[in-house]
Structure formats: structure tokens, C-alpha cells
Amino acid sequence: MSGHVAPTRLYYAIFGALMILTALTVAVAYKDLGLLNTYVAMTIAVAKATLVVLYFMHVRWSGRLIPILLAAGVLWLVILLALTMSDYASRGWMTAPGS
Amino acid sequence: MARTRDVFWHHFQDLEHQRETSALGMWIFLITEILFFGGMFACYVVYRTAYPEAWLAGSATLDVKLGAINTAVLIGSSLTMAMAVHAAQLGKRMPLVVFLVLTIVLGGIFLGIKAVEYEHKWEENLIPGPAFDFHGQGAGNVQLFFALYFALTGMHALHMVIGIGLLGNLVRQSLAGRFDAAYNTPVEMVGLYWHFVDIVWIFLFPLLYLLGRH
């Protein structure tokens, strides 16, 4: 026994879904949705990454340890981005004494 | 099971325990990779927020068609990699070798297209440095976009080159009959790495090529 053996049909279906999402993200990029463009593009990218992680990388069948580990990694990425941006976004809000 | 002796380390309970330990180590490595690329993504977000016009101007010079083709090629290589792991799990040696070679070929096509894109940027004098030449407003900030473009795609390409090297090694070991249904952990681990590199590109493609197309 070495990991979960998924049917090849599933891999082809995931490949098809990833291609459709790629075509979708290119098509949406040419429509002007204002700020929404970035959010739609990132939502599609996250959906594609999730499909790859769950099926191609077998996380769906890997027990609890790997998902917890992965969640911790993503949490730290969110902390990295959120704290960096909260600094840059709030710099103009207050002036320091003496400046 | 005679040949499990040379792939099984005595400090594990059994091969499954050994495989799970390898997978845990690989995932910890991939998480450090998420944060490694995350630093560059944070840099991208900060400067894109600061200089949105320069980001639009820089992105507009990239070739969406080549970027989309490369996305499809890389997703295709992820499929052949998943099929290689599948073949290894079932102990089918020839399909394993064929899918590994296909993955190498698709990875090579990706790098070839990337090289063509880099050459275009070279000819257009859009490589950051003394020769950088961009006509339009905020050329300095556009240069910053290209510095990040080359840092992100260059680091991604380096990961691809390393991945192709690992795959080549797997082909050699497969032909030597090192993997079977009971032991194929190296194929699975390289597969995890390859899929991770695919995921990085899944984010790079919209962030670099697609922003501001409308």
C-alpha cells in the first residue's frame, strides 16, 4: 500500500476543469469589472490551486496531518501579506510628532 | 518482496510509516517554498498598490497568448506527472517511464516558450538595468515591475529546471527497476514538488499577464 490510487478518469476530469478555469480567467480579464477584475482572477487561481492540491497532490486522501500543516502554511502567508499591507496602507493616516 | 530490503530503513515500522514520514518532510519543505514565493508576492502587492499605472503599462507589454499557452502546457505536465505517480503506484514500469518523459518534454516546452518571451523583452530593451528603455510616464516604476517580473518568473523557471533534473533522475531509476507497487515514494515526492511549481505559475499568470487587459 502506498498512498491512495485514484482512477485515471478523475485526473482527466481535473485537467479538464483546470483548462476551463484557465480559459475563463483569460476571458474575464478582457471585461472591465473595475476592482472586481483582480478578485475574480484571484478567486479562479485559488480554485485551480485547490483542485491541484486536493486531487493531483492527493491531499483529499492523505489523512489529517497534511491538511493541518498546509493550513498553517497558508495562515503564515496570510499573516505575511496582511501585516505588510496594513503597514503600507496606514502610513499616511497619522503624522508622527516632529515630522 | 526481496528487493524491499535495499529501500527500507530499519528505524521505520514499515514501508507505509517510511512513506508518510517522507511526505511530511516534503510538505514542510513545500510550505517553506510557499513563504519564499510569498515574500516576492508581498513585494508585488506593495508596489502594485503604490504604482498601479506602471503595473498596467508593464503588464500590457507581456504576450497573453504565450502566457496562456504556457499555462496550458504546465497544467498538461501536471496531468502527466499525476499519471506517472499513478503508474508507479500500480507498479507499471513502462507507463511510468513514458509519463515521466512526457512531463520532462512539456516542462522543456514551457522553458522554451519562456526563453522566447525573455528574448522579446531583451530586444525591446525591457530588461531592468542601464539599457532599460521604456517610453511613457513613470518609466522608473515600470522598471520595478520588470524587476519583479524577472525575479518571479526567473525563480519559477529555476524551480522548473531543478524539477526536470529530478525527473531525469527518476527516469534512470525507473529503467533500473527501482520502483514497484510497494515502493515508489521518490516518484510521489517529485510529483508533489512538480505540482507545487505548477501552482506558483497558476498565480503568476493572472498577476503578471492578465491585470489591466480590459
Domain ranges in chain B are: 11-210
Nearest-angstrom CA–CA distance, A43 and B15: 39
pLDDT score of B167: 98
Cell of A78: 496570510
Task: For an interface test with B, give the residue of A1, A2, A74, A88 to mutate (most B CBs within 10 A).
Answer: A2
Q: Where are the beta strands (DSSP E) in B17-137?
A: none
* pLDDT, tens digit only, all 214 positions of chain B: 445 557 888 889 888 899 999 999 999 999 999 999 999 999 999 999 999 999 999 999 999 999 999 999 999 999 999 999 999 999 999 999 999 999 999 999 999 999 999 999 999 999 998 889 888 778 889 999 999 999 999 999 999 999 999 999 999 999 999 999 989 999 999 999 999 999 999 999 999 999 877 7
Nearest-angstrom CA–CA distance, A61 and A54: 8
Which positions ≥6 away from B175 have C-beta within 8 Å?
B97
Task: For an interface test with B, give the residue of A20, A24, A57, A59 to mutate (most B CBs within 10 A).
Answer: A57
Q: Using an 8 Å CB-CB cutoff, list chain B residues near A6.
A: 86
Exposure pattern of B27-58 as b/e (b: 16+ CB <10 Å)? beebbebbeebbebbbbbebbbeebeebbebb
Beta-carbon separation of B45 and A89 below 8 A: no
Distances (CA, A) of B156 to A47, B7, B30, B97, B162: 20, 32, 14, 25, 10
pLDDT score of B193: 98
Q: With H, G, I as helix, E, B as strand and everything else as coil, classify residue A53.
A: helix
The type of residue at B195 is H
Asked if the ipTM is above 0.85, the reply is: yes
User: Residue holding cell 483582480?
Assistant: A38
Among the partner residues A18, A25, A65, nearest to B75 by beta-carbon distance: A18
CATH superfamily of B11-210: Cytochrome c oxidase, subunit III, four-helix bundle (1.20.120.80)
Distances (CA, A) of B116 to B64, B67, B119, B164: 13, 11, 5, 19
